[in-house]
Amino acid sequence: MKAIARALADAARQLEPTSDTERLDAELLMAEALHIDRDRLILSPPDRPVPDRFWQMIQRRKAGEPVAYITGRRAFWNIELHVGPGVLVPRPDSEVLIASAIAHFEGRQPPRRILDLGTGPGTLLLAALDIWPEAAGVGTDLSRHALSYGAANARRLGFEQRVHLRLGNWAEGVEGRFDLILCNPPYVADDADLGPGVREFEPDEALFAGKEGLDAYRALAPQLPHLLNPGGLAAVEIGPNQAAAVTALLARDGLRSHVAQDFARRDRAVLLTWV
């Protein structure tokens, strides 16, 4: 127990230059090395030697590799997703889209058809299907690699029969209308200064969107009005300084907009409805 406590403290100190969450990172990697969950590690740490694998994982994290790539997993909302290199790591900021959808449909008929544009490993789509068990969903992505993770996650969560994943550029070829549209597009400007490890490890196509970070929204703007059912919601993630620019692009053809903030009170999503 004391050996594990000392190792966690030492690892957190080593990770300070690389991570803003150095203690959390150390705990997640220790739990993975010991094959236990983090809650057990914190509440009842085992009296065992520290595995060599832990220090190997710490070295990878010191080099900037995301914790989710090292462990192969990332929690999002109420589900756990398998992720790996070539797939955007799900982030807590994106949970505002799910929270906004829950608020929108409270007291209404729940969504039956859900569309996730740029689904990656299925992050938003599978979280929504977990909330609304009568719904079915479509997820699109340009990356076959990302869709393979999405398909595997859908199978593991038991949602395979409710999910249709398709290779494509946003909504091209998607037919019909949807009650809930979710989208976390790339919105980082090409020359942006990102945190350690992001640009080096995560896929450029899931991060960068031109000089202003707005290219994806320009592509989405003409598609969304034709996809959203009356009474439905389209929730589109944005960067914290993009609310005005993205609203100007997406609030068109009668769609009304509202900006939602994330849990740190930063603008994080443009919400679109017909009324």
CATH number of 154's domain: 3.40.50.150
Same domain membership, residue 248 and residue 125: yes
- pLDDT at residue 272, rounded to an integer: 98
* Four-residue CA torsion sign, 21, 23, 29, 32: negative
Query: Last residue of some domain: 31, 63, 95?
Result: 63
pLDDT confidence band for 158 (50 / 70 / 90): very high
- pLDDT at residue 6, rounded to an integer: 94
pLDDT at residue 1 above 70? Answer: no
Same domain membership, residue 130 and residue 18: no
Same domain membership, residue 84 and residue 58: no
3-state secondary structure of 104: helix
Backbone angles phi, psi at 78, to 5 degrees: -105, 15
Same domain membership, residue 228 and residue 92: yes
In a domain, 14, yes or no: yes
pLDDT confidence band for 91 (50 / 70 / 90): very high
Same domain membership, residue 117 and residue 10: no
- In contact, 149 and 155? CB cutoff 8 Å: no
Same domain membership, residue 214 and residue 93: yes
Same domain membership, residue 43 and residue 109: no
Between CA 207 and CA 110 the distance in angstroms is 31
pLDDT at residue 2 above 80? Answer: no
Please write the tens of the pLDDT for every residue from 112-137: 999 999 999 999 999 999 999 999 99
In a domain, 101, yes or no: yes
pTM for the predicted model, two decimal places: 0.93
What's 25-41 look like in SS3?
HHHHHHHHHHCCCHHHH
CATH number of 42's domain: 1.10.8
Torsion of CA 229, 230, 231, 236, to 10 degrees: 50
In a domain, 196, yes or no: yes
Q: What is the mean pLDDT of the chain?
A: 95
pLDDT confidence band for 267 (50 / 70 / 90): very high
What proportion of the chain, given as a percentage, has pLDDT over 90?
Answer: 87
pLDDT at residue 196 above 80? Answer: no
Between CA 251 and CA 16 the distance in angstroms is 42
Residue 11 makes CB contacts below 8 A (sequence gap 6+) with 22, 26, 29, 30, 54, 55, 58
Between CA 142 and CA 155 the distance in angstroms is 20
Transcribe 236-271 into DSSP letters: EE--TT-HHHHHHHHS-TT-EEEEEE-TTS-EEEEE
Token code pair at residue 59: 């070295």
Q: Taking residues 11-27, report their average pLDDT.
A: 95
Same domain membership, residue 110 and residue 228: yes
- In contact, 140 and 122? CB cutoff 8 Å: no
Same domain membership, residue 81 and residue 52: no
Angle between helices 2-15 and 22-34 (to 10 degrees): 130
What residue has token string 């080099």?
Answer: 63
In a domain, 150, yes or no: yes
Token code pair at residue 162: 């409710």
Residue 269: give the domain boundaries: 74-273
* Rg of the chain taking only CA atoms, in angstroms: 20
Name the strand (E) or helix (H) holding 269.
strand 267-273
Same domain membership, residue 53 and residue 91: no
Residue 43 makes CB contacts below 8 A (sequence gap 6+) with none
Same domain membership, residue 262 and residue 130: yes
In a domain, 69, yes or no: no
What's the number of domains the chain is made of? 2
Which has the closest alpha carbon to 95: 130, 63, 141, 66? Answer: 130
Same domain membership, residue 122 and residue 30: no
